[in-house]
Chains A and B, each alone.
Chain A
Amino acid sequence: MSSDSTGALPREGGPVSRVRAALLQKRTRPGEHAYTVLRWGGAGLFAAVVVALLISIAASSSQALAHSGVGFLWSGTWNPAAGEYGAGILVVGTLLTTAVAMVIVVPIGLGTAAFLSELAPGWLAGPLSTLIGLLAAVPSIVVGLWGLIVLTPIFANQVEPFLASMPLLGWLFRGEAYGPSILLASVVLAVMTLPTMVALSRTALAAVPVADREAALALGATRWQAVRKAVIPAARSGIQAAVTLAVGRAMGESIAVAMVIGNRPALPTSLTAPGATLGSAIVNQFAEASPGLGASSVIALGAVLLLLTVAVNAGGQALLRSGGGHRAGTAGALR
């Protein structure tokens, strides 16, 4: 693949690039007008929706922000009954649950994708990936109910005490085992975002040209080394998109999280303590969505979540750009 992570088409030097530049003349060639209009129309409609959403969120949350000031973003008290609206604790909860969920999802998702794409026999890979894709369709309410009814007792009675008793890591899981907790919410989030990670990573891995793999094998790599050193790096941008979508889903999930996180707006003292996220607070407060401070604070939470997503996305992209914008693996040399 000759694309980098930002632009449409590459910009190397040399005679090839001049041909490319000629191909990419910006002026519309005859007969392309309708298509160009369509493209711009589609992009424009999407941009209009984004702008309308942003304006709607900003307008609706202005009352809450005026009431609490900018401190809304990091103020540590979320107590709507007392009229105190501060999103700080909720931001911590959101970041914590997303991070733990990604710690679970990224290795398992990538490993599954590698299995499906490279290592599994053909008759197995197709049906298996359809099945995993089916998990994406399970309504969040069903996952939440299942988490509440099935997972909560297991976590309260077996999993959490067991984790707390582990020699070194037990410290992370100390405290009274209620069941609903940051950990349980992270596991539920992991279940919900796994299909996205697997499906998109698998697409990315499968799209790496056979030549890359063969080149690695020809150089003496074992099958796994070819996958690890040649295929996965070549699929970097696709895997990045998968992680981005998974993170986005995890940060924004509301109903399922609210059912299994315990809804305690306080700084969690351990992973097995109950907590609260922006999404769960929104779902608990949404009923107060009548005009007024209550409704405005709900939407202000949405605005905070949006800002958080922006920050996480920007940070992730910057990280990846500095880590390796150039192409690794055998494919890079050939392009």
Chain B
Amino acid sequence: MSVASAVSRRELVRAAAQRSLTRRRINGRIAQALCAVAAVASVAPLVALLYYTISRGAQVLSWGFLVNAPTPPGIPGGGISTAITGSAEIVGLALVIAIPIALLAALFLFERSGRLAAALRFSADVLTGVPSIIIGIFAYALLVLPLHAFSDLAAAFALAVLMLPIMIRADEEAMRTIALDLWEAGIALGARRGRVARSVVLRGALPDLVTGNLLAIARAVGETAPLLFTLATPVAAMTLLIYTDGTQAFPIAQETAWGTALVLLAFVLLLSVAAKIAAWRISRRAR
């Protein structure tokens, strides 16, 4: 090969590489721009929803709104205190039921393979698709009918059943992606499984466990259908109040509904932030 052709070949290769790099860079830039657009598109509905909720509900918001008991529409001085405490109680109870079971079941799936685990995982996937209204009917048949009474326990049970499959799947994913190697290392060092699970897997995956669980909790807090079947009165929980007031004829009732929606969102926001901070501090200490 002559020197000239070797040089020209090198030039050709360099030019081709340069073109490829430019093309890949441009593609990359376009793709990044599209991702940014996607992010904006994700935030836009929230902004629109928040804007509308605030514009409808802000006029009813006041300290009295939060601490007073409800009064019929048109009568001043009413509030949603019973709904707030009711929701907190029901969700708290549901969490007490759901979180331990979900964690343990997720650990079960995490450590086992085989058909049993696969079947359990599959049924969790399927269960996430059961409409919340069916779960409400289930809780009604199980806990309301036999006792001839609506109850907070029935409502909490319904919400727990709703949250369980989501939590289990999200928990297992978090454990699997974060802590697999750490788990193996722990077992290899001879530590007991329980110890490894507690100190390594759970602690290591905690931030992602919290994210996944928060999603489930947020969804459960916002559910209305299960409560329709298990609670006696609309003022027992915030979402039920939103449903009942939002579909009333009186404009003031509808404003109350939107005000309640704002309170609900604030509730969940506080919960998310608090949980994230707690998770961050725990996992920081582990390092």
For chain B, residues 139 to 192, give those with C-beta under 8 angstroms from any C-beta of chain A.
Answer: 140-142, 161, 164, 166, 168-170, 173-174, 176-178, 180, 184, 187-188, 192
For chain B, residues 78 to 109, give those with C-beta under 8 angstroms from any C-beta of chain A.
Answer: 100-105, 107-109
Render A221-249 as a binary contact track against B, CB cut-off 8 A, 1 for contact: 11111001000000001100100110111
Contact present for A46 and B35 (CB under 8 Å)? no
Contact present for A255 and B224 (CB under 8 Å)? yes
Query: Is A159 positioned at the interface, with any CB of B under 8 Å from its CB?
Result: no
Kindly list chain A residues whose C-beta atoms are within 8 Å of the C-beta of B130. Answer: 53, 252, 302, 305-306, 309
Kindly list chain B residues whose C-beta atoms are within 8 Å of the C-beta of A137. Answer: 218-219, 221-222, 264-265, 268-269
Query: Is A47 positioned at the interface, with any CB of B under 8 Å from its CB?
Result: yes
CB distance from B218 to the nearest CB of A (A): 4
Query: Is B117 positioned at the interface, with any CB of A under 8 Å from its CB?
Result: yes
Kindly list chain A residues whose C-beta atoms are within 8 Å of the C-beta of B133. Answer: 254-255, 279, 282-283, 286, 302
Render B19-39 as a binary contact track against A, CB cut-off 8 A, 1 for contact: 001001101110110111111
Q: Spot the interface stretch: A75-83, A162-170, A174-182, A192-200.
A: A192-200
Q: Spot the interface stretch: A65-73, A105-113, A267-275, A322-330.
A: A105-113
Knowing A133-B218, A139-B242, A249-B128 are in contact, say whether A23-B188 is a contact too (CB < 8 A): yes
Contact present for A32 and B194 (CB under 8 Å)? yes
Contact present for B129 and A119 (CB under 8 Å)? no
Interface range, B side? 35 or more
User: What is the CA–CA distance of A133 and B208 in the complex, to the nearest angstrom?
Assistant: 13
B169 touches which of A1, A194, A245 (Cβ 8 Å): A245
A136 touches which of B39, B164, B219 (Cβ 8 Å): B219
Contact present for B107 and A135 (CB under 8 Å)? no
Contact present for B108 and A238 (CB under 8 Å)? no
Kindly list chain A residues whose C-beta atoms are within 8 Å of the C-beta of B71. Answer: none
B192 touches which of A31, A57, A130, A199 (Cβ 8 Å): A31
CB distance from B196 to the nearest CB of A (A): 9
User: What is the CA–CA distance of A310 and B130 in the complex, to the nearest angstrom?
Assistant: 10
Kindly list chain B residues whose C-beta atoms are within 8 Å of the C-beta of A204. Answer: 173, 177
Query: Is B214 positioned at the interface, with any CB of A under 8 Å from its CB?
Result: yes
User: What is the CA–CA distance of A190 and B261 in the complex, to the nearest angstrom?
Assistant: 20
Interface centre among B117, B128, B184, B212 (most CB of A within 10 A): B128
Kindly list chain B residues whose C-beta atoms are within 8 Å of the C-beta of A245. Answer: 128, 166, 169-170
Kindly list chain A residues whose C-beta atoms are within 8 Å of the C-beta of B273. Answer: 130
Knowing A108-B42, A111-B39, A309-B130 are in contact, say whether A42-B138 is a contact too (CB < 8 A): no
Contact present for A46 and B126 (CB under 8 Å)? no
B173 touches which of A53, A238, A299 (Cβ 8 Å): A238
Interface range, A side? 35 or more
Knowing A8-B113, A42-B108, A134-B46 are in contact, say whether A141-B272 is a contact too (CB < 8 A): no
For chain B, residues 203 to 243, give those with C-beta under 8 angstroms from any C-beta of chain A.
Answer: 208, 211-212, 214-215, 218-219, 221-225, 228-229, 239, 242-243
Q: Spot the interface stretch: B1-9, B48-56, B62-70.
A: B48-56
User: What is the CA–CA distance of A114 and B39 in the complex, to the nearest angstrom?
Assistant: 9
Output the nearest chain B residue to A47 by Cβ-Cβ distance.
B120
Query: Is B58 positioned at the interface, with any CB of A under 8 Å from its CB?
Result: no
Output the nearest chain A residue to B124 by Cβ-Cβ distance.
A46
Q: Count the A-B residue pairs with Cβ separation under 8 angstroms: how many?
A: 318
A135 touches which of B31, B46, B126 (Cβ 8 Å): B46
Query: Is A319 positioned at the interface, with any CB of B under 8 Å from its CB?
Result: no
Knowing A134-B268, A313-B125 are in contact, say whether A128-B39 is a contact too (CB < 8 A): yes
Query: Is B75 positioned at the interface, with any CB of A under 8 Å from its CB?
Result: no
B272 touches which of A133, A143, A228, A312 (Cβ 8 Å): A133
User: What is the CA–CA distance of A52 and B164 in the complex, to the nearest angstrom?
Assistant: 14
Output the nearest chain B residue to A194 by Cβ-Cβ distance.
B42
Interface centre among A49, A128, A137, A312 (most CB of B within 10 A): A137
CB distance from B238 to the nearest CB of A (A): 8
User: What is the CA–CA distance of A313 and B211 in the complex, to the nearest angstrom?
Assistant: 23
User: What is the CA–CA distance of A309 and B124 in the complex, to the nearest angstrom?
Assistant: 11
Kindly list chain A residues whose C-beta atoms are within 8 Å of the C-beta of B52. Answer: 146, 149-150
Kindly list chain B residues whose C-beta atoms are within 8 Å of the C-beta of A40. Answer: 108
Kindly list chain B residues whose C-beta atoms are within 8 Å of the C-beta of A158. Answer: none
Knowing A115-B38, A224-B28, A241-B173 are in contact, say whether A253-B131 is a contact too (CB < 8 A): yes
Query: Is A97 positioned at the interface, with any CB of B under 8 Å from its CB?
Result: no
Query: Is B11 positioned at the interface, with any CB of A under 8 Å from its CB?
Result: no
Output the nearest chain B residue to A130 by Cβ-Cβ distance.
B272
User: What is the CA–CA distance of A131 and B38 in the complex, to the nearest angstrom?
Assistant: 15
Contact present for A8 and B142 (CB under 8 Å)? no
B36 touches which of A23, A115, A142, A314 (Cβ 8 Å): A115
Knowing A46-B120, A108-B42, A141-B243 are in contact, say whether A248-B105 is a contact too (CB < 8 A): no
Kindly list chain B residues whose C-beta atoms are within 8 Å of the C-beta of A238. Answer: 173, 177
Kindly list chain A residues whose C-beta atoms are within 8 Å of the C-beta of B258. Answer: 142
Contact present for B174 and A194 (CB under 8 Å)? no
Contact present for B114 and A7 (CB under 8 Å)? yes
Contact present for B261 and A139 (CB under 8 Å)? yes
Given contacts A32-B193, A138-B261, 14 further A-B contacts (CB under 8 A): A8-B109, A42-B101, A43-B108, A46-B105, A49-B161, A56-B142, A134-B46, A139-B239, A142-B53, A200-B212, A252-B132, A279-B131, A305-B131, A306-B130
Q: List 11 A-B contacts (CB under 8 A).
A: A49-B161, A108-B38, A115-B39, A120-B39, A130-B272, A131-B46, A134-B265, A145-B246, A207-B177, A222-B24, A314-B122
